[in-house]
């Protein structure tokens, strides 16, 4: 179980509440003999994930207000970017998009900033805690508060959709970006992604997601894959939209964007 520590005494109670809510181990400091190189830390600014050791990507936290995510919102190409076209953002008016593998929420935030209503779904308590923290802080940012208003969050496993998890409204589109198991250790995987692969696993059950989601979505399911990866569940999509390193496989629609 991952440990969570406060960066300062004033945050002890809040850190204990987070530990209880998400099922983390509360510690006042990181035990020296900790078996895991990872721990969570609550600071006055945010909740962050730390990896100890030389391959550390630095503190990982969800930030919708600045950095890469803000850059993508302002300069990412709007509705003409490939990801938006794959989703159908230029065709469906104010769609409801379920990002069933939300991770750090970067893709989902792009959809919301382009006018979609978005449900983020995540099953890892570590990612879910980081994401909830980022969403909560973003509500106080005047530039993006109206975007955040259109985002809701579900903590759970998307394979349970329509069985134990019922949605209030049927999403027009479901977006999937499960972790891809990179067997080639020399592959240029970003350190952050590598840290998550080590910490929460490789999503080896993601083939199951496609069938479940195709039964739930109203219009289409879009799957993000590395450019050379096999189709999810070996199922040929209706069509694919390719980028340099990734492609978006679009299922369940008849018209080509």
Ligand X SMILES: C[S@@+](CC[C@H](N)C(=O)[O-])C[C@H]1O[C@@H](n2cnc3c(N)ncnc32)[C@H](O)[C@@H]1O
* Distance from C-alpha of 163 to C-alpha of 42, rounded to nearest angstrom: 35
Which listed residue (11, 12, 179, 257) binds ligand X by CB under 6 A?
179
Which listed residue (157, 173, 210, 252) binds ligand X by CB under 6 A?
157
Comparing CB distances to ligand X, the nearer of 96 and 128 is 128
Which listed residue (51, 177, 247, 253) binds ligand X by CB under 6 A?
177
For 106-154, the DSSP string reads: HHHHHHHHTT-EEEEEE--HHHHHHHHHHHHHHTT-TTTHHHHTTEEEE
CB 90, min distance to ligand X, A: 20
With beta carbons less than 8 A apart as the criterion, state whether 92 and 79 touch. no
CB 8, min distance to ligand X, A: 28
Comparing CB distances to ligand X, the nearer of 12 and 193 is 193
Q: Quick check: 138 binds ligand X (CB under 6 A)?
A: no
Question: How far from the centroid of its chain's Cα atoms is residue 249's Cα?
Answer: 18
* Listed ranges 16-24, 119-127, 231-239, 248-256: which one lies at the site for ligand X (CB under 6 A): 119-127
DSSP 8-state assignment for residue 173 = E
Give the number of residues in contact with ligand X, rule: CB under 6 A: 22
Contact positions with ligand X (CB under 6 A) in 78-107: 100-101, 103-107
Q: Quick check: 161 binds ligand X (CB under 6 A)?
A: no
Which listed residue (5, 40, 83, 123) binds ligand X by CB under 6 A?
123
Query: What are the φ/ψ torsions at residue 116 (nearest 5 degrees)?
Result: -80, 155
Which listed residue (122, 133, 172, 249) binds ligand X by CB under 6 A?
122
Q: How many CA atoms lie within 13 A of 251 on its CB side?
A: 23
To which H or E segment does residue 251 belong?
A: strand 246-251
Partner residues linked to 221 by β-bridges: 174, 251
* Listed ranges 71-79, 171-179, 235-243, 247-255: which one lies at the site for ligand X (CB under 6 A): 171-179
* Distance from C-alpha of 246 to C-alpha of 101, rounded to nearest angstrom: 16
Comparing CB distances to ligand X, the nearer of 115 and 125 is 125
CB 200, min distance to ligand X, A: 5
Q: Quick check: 112 binds ligand X (CB under 6 A)?
A: no
* Distance from C-alpha of 106 to C-alpha of 98, rounded to nearest angstrom: 13
- Maximum Cα–Cα distance across the chain: 58
* Distance from C-alpha of 202 to C-alpha of 195, rounded to nearest angstrom: 11
Contact positions with ligand X (CB under 6 A) in 194-253: 200, 203, 206, 209
Give the residue nearest to ligand X (CB).
Answer: 103
Comparing CB distances to ligand X, the nearer of 5 and 129 is 129
For 10-78, the DSSP string reads: GGHHHHHHHHHHHTPEE-SS--TT-S-SEEEEE-SS-EEEEE-STT----B---SSSHHHHHHHHHS-G
Residues that bind ligand X (CB under 6 A): 100-101, 103-107, 121-124, 127, 157-159, 177-179, 200, 203, 206, 209
């Amino acid at each position: 179980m991952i440990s969570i520590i406060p960066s300062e005494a004033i945050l002890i109670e809040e850190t204990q509440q987070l530990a209880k809510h998400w099922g983390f181990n509360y510690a006042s400091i990181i035990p020296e003999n900790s078996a895991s190189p990872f721990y969570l830390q609550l600071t006055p600014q945010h909740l962050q994930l730390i990896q100890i050791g030389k391959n550390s990507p630095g503190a990982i936290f969800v930030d919708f207000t600045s950095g890469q995510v803000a850059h993508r919102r302002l300069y990412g190409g709007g509705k003409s970017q490939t990801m938006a076209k794959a989703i159908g953002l230029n065709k469906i008016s104010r769609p409801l998009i379920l990002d069933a593998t939300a991770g750090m929420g970067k893709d989902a935030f792009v959809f919301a900033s382009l006018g979609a209503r978005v449900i983020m779904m995540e099953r890892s308590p570590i990612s879910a805690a980081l994401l909830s923290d980022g969403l909560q802080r973003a509500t106080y940012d005047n530039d993006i508060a109206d975007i955040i208003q259109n985002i809701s969050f579900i903590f759970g496993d998307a394979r349970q959709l329509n069985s134990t998890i019922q949605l209030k409204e049927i999403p027009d589109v479901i977006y999937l970006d499960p972790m891809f198991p990179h067997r080639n250790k020399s592959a240029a995987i970003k350190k952050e992604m590598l840290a998550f692969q080590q910490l929460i696993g490789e999503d080896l059950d993601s083939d199951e997601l496609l069938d479940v989601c195709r039964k739930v979505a109203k219009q289409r399911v879009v799957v993000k894959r590395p450019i050379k990866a096999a189709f999810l569940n070996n199922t040929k999509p209706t069509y694919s939209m390719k980028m340099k390193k990734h492609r978006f496989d679009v299922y369940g629609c008849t018209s080509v964007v």
